[in-house]
Every structure is written in C-alpha cells, then in structure tokens.
C-alpha cells in the first residue's frame, strides 16, 4: 500500500472513530490508539527514520500533517463532549427557586407542651434563686404520706387515688407517688443528714429555696385528669419565712408565666395534712371570650395549693420548728400548660398523635428564657 493511501485510510478511519466517540474516555482511547507511543500515526512517524532522504522530504510533512489534523480533531471532539456533559449537569442540578424551601431537620421536630412549660417554670424560678431537685416516681409509702403528716389510716390518704406497689424483699411499702410533696421531705432530710440520700447530690441546708418538678400518678381519667400527670412543688425554709413572701413568690411566678403585667390572686382556706394554715390560690381571669385571659376579668381560676409547712413535717425531717419555718406549694404542670396554651383535653397530651404535637408543640431551638422570651 502506498504511503498516500495509508495516510488517507488512517485519516478516514480515525476521523470516523473520533466523530462517533460519545464520551471523553472514548476520545482518549482513540488518541492513545493513534498518537500514543504504540499508536498507528506514531508508527508511521517512526517509519520516517528508515526512509531515504528524498522520500522523507515529502513523507515527513504529510505524516506530520495527519498527526496535527488528528490531534486537532481529538481536541475539538473532547471539547464538544465536555461542553455537552456540563450542559447535562446544569440541567440535572437546576434549582427551581420558586419552590417552597424544605425545612431543615432541626426545624421539623416539636417539643411537647409539657416539656416546654416545665422549662418555662424552671427558668422563672431559677431566676428567682431557686434550685431544682428531683425524686423517684416509685416512692415509699412513708415519704409519700407518713412523713408528710398523713397518719396511718387517716382519711386524708383517701383523697389520693393511689397506685399501690407490691412491697420489695425488704418489706418496705411503696406507691407510685401521688404528688411531688415527698421530694420536700427528701430535700429537708438531705439538708441534715449524711450520707447523701439518692437523687439529691448536693447539700441543701437551710435556707432552702427549691422547686421539684416531676411525674405523679393517680387512679383517675377524664378530660382534665390522666393517670400520669406532672406537678411542680416549691419549698422555702428559713428562720423567718412568712406568708407574705409566699404570696410574693407566687404572684411573681404567675405574672412571669402568663406573660402579663399584673395578676390578682385570692387565697382561700383549705386543708392539706402537711401545711398549717393551708390555702388554695385562685387567679383572676376573664372567660367571656373563646379563651381564658389571666390578669383581667371577673372570674376566678383555681391554680395551686400551698401553705406554711406543718411543724410535724419539719420535725419528721430533723428540723426544729422553733428555729425554722417555711412555706410550700404544689401545682399541676399539665393544667398550667392547658391554661396558657389553650389546650382543652389533657388526654391528648399523652396520645402520641403527631398531628397534635405539630399543632401544639414548640420549635426545638426556641428555648424558653427570661431574656429571650418564654413562649415566643
Ligand atoms: N400535694 C398537693 C396535691 O397534690 C399540692 C400541695 C398543696 C403541695 C399544698 C404543697 C402544699 O406543697 O403546700 O394536691
């Protein structure tokens, strides 16, 4: 085959191969097959060395011409394919800026209203200088009742529809705590005794200012009662604590919690075995519209129980009632949540219905603080 025919054949074959290469890798394969060390065009170039000088003078430019042409075609085709790949990628990755933004995972979850209100309450009392304490849900009968001045067989025990537990091997009678008041006893005992009682890790010697949120249990279920519910207990013990302070603390709390300028409270005489005197507190409200408004109106809403700690309770904790006195209160966290956020049925709190939580829940990154706002 003459050199001219060889060159023509190569040009035709290689041009066709380049034109039909559909990927950058395919173009690269053609380049190696033609211009690589063992490529067909490179072989022709190498054959120049064996030619006589006159033949080389015409063959040299012809073969080099072929080489340059093929190299240019390869570069052009590679460029086309790169542009085509970029175009395809731009189409694939196109963003429609008119579509709604999908929320980030941190914006999707919701904090349960009970957790929210629990955090709001602890933020408010922490700001007033209160510590937080907790006790166990399974409580001894002694701490839940006896130490709180409910004598054995006293009818006041019947006020609580108690879930009784089978006693353990030690024979100690246990209950699911019916209120958070036993944590008062743990706190006061802890203030006197070593080694540390469980759940209370630091000494709480008088003066004591502590709140005790937690789960509580009673055999009860209707629109405003569930077998498990939440309470927060408050306790202040000092040498000169008095009812005026109790009233101030509660009113400051109610204003901060309901996020209103002023509240009007009414203290009604009541009975609890562990306080003397005992009172129930109502807060003035307006129920004329579709929602309850605190801090205005002509109606009253019962909100909590409180009183001066009974001398027997102080004695049961090893505190001398001639030296120390104090006040305590207890209120329902769920009930406060229902009032503040207008949720009518307590049972829905514990149905684990995601639609309910999406509606009534709180954004996880909006933590309640006094400086940033409790509920906003
Ligand atoms: N433990 C009471 C209850 O569950 C509430 C209560 C009333 C707590 C008066 C107190 C208090 O600390 O002083 O009904």
Q: What are the structural domain ranges in the chain?
A: 3-92, 113-360
Contacts of 336 (CB under 8 A, 6+ apart): 117, 121, 257, 303
Q: Are 274 and 321 in contact (CB under 8 A)?
A: no
Q: Which residue has the tokens 């469980």?
A: 198
Backbone angles phi, psi at 346, to 5 degrees: -65, -30
Q: Mind listing the pLDDT tens digit of every residue in the chain (376 residues)?
A: 788 899 999 999 999 999 999 999 999 999 999 999 999 999 999 998 898 988 889 999 999 999 999 999 999 999 999 999 999 999 999 988 899 888 887 778 899 999 999 999 999 999 999 999 999 999 999 999 999 999 888 877 877 899 999 988 999 999 999 999 999 999 998 876 544 455 554 556 688 999 999 999 999 888 889 999 999 999 999 999 999 999 999 999 999 999 999 999 999 999 999 999 999 999 999 988 888 889 888 999 999 999 999 999 999 999 999 999 999 999 999 999 999 998 988 999 999 999 999 999 999 888 888 888 888 6
Q: Is the CB of 217 under 6 A from ligand 1?
A: no
Q: How far is the CA of 134 from the centre of ligand 1 (A)?
A: 16
Q: How far is the CA of 305 from the centre of ligand 1 (A)?
A: 5
Write the residue with the smallest CA distance to atom 2 of ligand 1. 330
Q: How far is the CA of 271 from the centre of ligand 1 (A)?
A: 10
Report the DSSP beta bridge partners of residue 172: none
Its pTM stands at 0.72
Q: How far is the CA of 299 from the centre of ligand 1 (A)?
A: 23
Residue 289, pLDDT score: 84
Q: Are 329 and 304 in contact (CB under 8 A)?
A: yes
Write the residue with the smallest CA distance to atom 12 of ligand 1. 329
Question: How far is the CA of 181 from the CAs of 27, 37, 75, 133, 240, in angstroms?
Answer: 82, 91, 85, 12, 22
Question: How far is the CA of 5 from the CAs of 13, 43, 59, 296, in angstroms?
Answer: 12, 15, 12, 106
Residue 107, pLDDT score: 79
Residue 201, pLDDT score: 47
By three-state DSSP, how is residue 323 classified? coil
Q: Strand 265-270 and strand 138-140: pairing?
A: unpaired
Write the residue with the smallest CA distance to atom 7 of ligand 1. 305
Q: Are 176 and 137 in contact (CB under 8 A)?
A: yes
CA distance 20 to 35: 18
Q: Is the CB of 330 under 6 A from ligand 1?
A: yes
Question: How far is the CA of 80 from the CAs of 24, 30, 88, in angstroms?
Answer: 9, 15, 12
Backbone angles phi, psi at 303, to 5 degrees: -125, -25
* Beta-sheet strands, E only, within the chain: 131-132, 138-140, 163-165, 174-176, 208-217, 228-238, 265-270, 275-286, 293-294, 299-309, 325-332
Q: How far is the CA of 268 from the centre of ligand 1 (A)?
A: 14
Dmax over Cα atoms in the chain, in whole Å? 130
Q: Is the CB of 329 under 6 A from ligand 1?
A: yes
Residue 374, pLDDT score: 86
* Beta-sheet strands, E only, within 167-274: 174-176, 208-217, 228-238, 265-270
User: Is the preceding omega at residue 215 within 30 degrees of 0, hence cis?
Assistant: no
Q: How far is the CA of 272 from the centre of ligand 1 (A)?
A: 7
Strands of the sheet with 163-165, listed across from one edge: 138-140, 174-176, 163-165
Q: How far is the CA of 174 from the centre of ligand 1 (A)?
A: 20
Backbone angles phi, psi at 304, to 5 degrees: -165, 170
By three-state DSSP, how is residue 289 classified? coil
Q: Is the CB of 232 under 6 A from ligand 1?
A: no
Residue 371, pLDDT score: 82
Closest alpha carbon to 340 in 128, 106, 124: 124
Q: Is the CB of 313 under 6 A from ligand 1?
A: no
By three-state DSSP, how is residue 300 classified? strand
CA distance 218 to 153: 18
Mutate to test the pocket of ligand 1, among 143, 176, 184, 272 (most ligand atoms within 8 A of CB): 272
Phi/psi region, residue 111 (left: phi>0; alpha: psi -120 to 50; beta: rest), is beta
Q: Is the CB of 177 under 6 A from ligand 1?
A: no
CATH class of 113-360: alpha beta
Q: How far is the CA of 124 from the centre of ligand 1 (A)?
A: 20
């Amino acid at each position: 085959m003459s050199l001219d025919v060889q060159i023509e054949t190569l040009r035709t074959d290689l041009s066709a191969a380049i034109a039909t290469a559909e990927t950058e890798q395919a173009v690269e394969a053609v380049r190696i097959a033609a211009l690589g060390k063992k490529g067909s065009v490179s072989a022709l170039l190498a054959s120049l060395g064996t030619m006589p000088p006159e033949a080389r003078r015409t063959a040299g430019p012809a073969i080099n011409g072929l080489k340059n042409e093929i190299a240019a075609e390869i570069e052009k085709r590679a460029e086309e394919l790169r542009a085509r790949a970029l175009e395809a990628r731009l189409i694939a990755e196109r963003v429609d800026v008119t579509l709604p933004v999908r929320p980030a995972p941190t914006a999707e979850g919701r904090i349960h209203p009970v957790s929210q209100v629990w955090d709001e309450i602890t933020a408010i009392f922490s700001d007033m200088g209160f510590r937080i304490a907790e006790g166990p849900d399974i409580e001894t009968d002694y701490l839940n009742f006896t130490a709180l001045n409910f004598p054995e067989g006293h009818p006041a025990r019947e006020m609580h529809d108690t879930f009784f537990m089978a006693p353990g091997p030690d024979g100690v009678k246990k209950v699911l705590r019916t209120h958070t008041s036993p944590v008062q006893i743990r706190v006061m005992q802890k203030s006197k005794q070593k080694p540390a009682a469980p759940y209370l890790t630091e000494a709480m010697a008088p003066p004591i200012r502590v709140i005790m949120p937690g789960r509580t249990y009673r055999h009860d279920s209707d629109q405003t009662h569930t077998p498990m519910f939440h309470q927060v207990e408050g306790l202040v013990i000092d040498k000169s604590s008095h009812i005026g302070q109790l009233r101030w603390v509660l009113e400051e709390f109610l204003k901060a919690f309901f996020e209103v300028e002023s509240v009007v409270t009414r203290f009604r005489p009541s009975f609890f075995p562990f306080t003397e005197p005992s009172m129930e507190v109502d807060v003035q409200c307006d129920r004329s519209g579709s929602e309850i408004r605190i801090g205005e109106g002509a109606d009253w809403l019962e909100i909590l129980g409180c009183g001066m700690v009974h001398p027997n309770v102080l004695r049961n904790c090893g505190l001398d009632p001639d030296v120390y006195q104090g006040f305590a209160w207890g209120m329902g966290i769920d009930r406060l949540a229902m009032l503040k956020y207008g949720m009518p049925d307590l049972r829905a709190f514990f149905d684990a219905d995601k639609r309910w939580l999406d509606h009534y829940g709180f954004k996880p990154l909006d933590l309640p603080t006094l400086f940033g706002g409790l509920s906003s």
